[in-house]
């Protein structure tokens, strides 16, 4: 059993009889009244995100999740195809269950897959990924204002804010948890 006060982002719990992933969990202590937890939960069966206000003492059943390293192969009509790196078994996952991970994965990338009762629930990209910039405005000479940024489109289609000195065609490192630029690769 896990208490609502112990919920962490990425954790998987049983809520209302179905598996949910904790997208966001925030402990709130108003000036008047008792503390509570605001949580966003993603239903792993349907992909729907719900917002819940929970008491810290509410308990949930903690789901046993097995994690495996898998390789992303391709996307087709059936969804995204992943291959188990030990058994070479291929599994498809629908676009609804992928979530924001699609913004950071490219073919042949190794990801972490979460399984419950031998069913693929979700996948996680590595914390930092190196992606190529396919489109961005050229930086002007003399634009050295500290902290100035411009939008850049990555090879996966994700748009991130990058410093003015970063140019089209360069490889950059991106944090997949926040979607922010870290450094040039």
* pLDDT confidence of residue 145: 61
| Residue that wins the pLDDT comparison between 75 and 97 | 75
* pLDDT confidence of residue 123: 84
* pLDDT confidence of residue 152: 92
43/159 Cα distance (integer angstroms): 26
- CA 132 to chain centroid, in Å, comes to 19
pLDDT band at 140 (very low <50, low <70, confident <90, very high): low
Q: Is the pLDDT of residue 71 over 90?
A: yes
Distances (CA, A) of 145 to 73, 148, 183: 41, 6, 17
The tens digit of pLDDT for each residue in 149-170 reads 889 999 988 999 998 888 889 9
**What are the start-end ranges of the E strands in the chain?**
2-3, 12-15, 18-28, 36-43, 49-54, 59-62, 66-76, 79-84, 90-93, 110-116, 119-124, 128-136, 149-154, 159-163, 171-175, 180-184
**What domains can be seen in the chain, in order of their start residue?**
2-62 (2.30.30.30), 66-124 (2.40.50.140), 128-184 (2.40.50.140)
* pLDDT confidence of residue 11: 81
- What angle is formed at CA 25 by the lines to CA 113 and CA 79, rounded to 5 degrees? 30
Asked if 161 and 149 count as a contact pair (C-beta separation under 8 A), the reply is: yes
Distances (CA, A) of 54 to 7, 63, 121, 134, 141: 11, 19, 24, 43, 53
Mean predicted confidence (pLDDT) in 64-81: 89
Q: Is the pLDDT of residue 19 over 80?
A: yes
13/149 Cα distance (integer angstroms): 39
Signed CA dihedral, 132, 137, 140, 145: sign only = negative
């Amino acid at each position: 059993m896990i208490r609502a006060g112990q919920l962490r982002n990425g954790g998987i719990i049983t809520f209302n009889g179905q598996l949910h992933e904790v997208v966001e969990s925030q402990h709130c202590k108003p000036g008047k009244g008792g503390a509570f937890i605001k949580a966003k939960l993603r239903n792993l069966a349907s992909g729907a995100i719900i917002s819940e206000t929970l008491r810290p003492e509410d308990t949930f059943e903690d789901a046993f999740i097995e994690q495996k390293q898998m390789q992303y192969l391709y996307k087709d009509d059936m969804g995204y195809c992943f291959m188990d790196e030990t058994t070479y078994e291929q599994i498809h996952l629908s676009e609804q269950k992928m979530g924001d991970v699609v913004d950071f994965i490219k073919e042949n990338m190794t990801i972490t897959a979460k399984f419950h009762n031998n069913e693929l629930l979700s996948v996680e990209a590595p914390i930092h990924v190196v992606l190529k910039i396919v489109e961005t405005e050229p930086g002007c000479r003399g634009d050295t204002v500290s902290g100035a940024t411009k939008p850049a489109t990555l090879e996966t289609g994700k748009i991130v804010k990058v410093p003015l000195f970063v140019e089209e065609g360069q490889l950059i490192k991106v944090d997949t948890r926040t979607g922010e630029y870290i450094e040039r690769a």
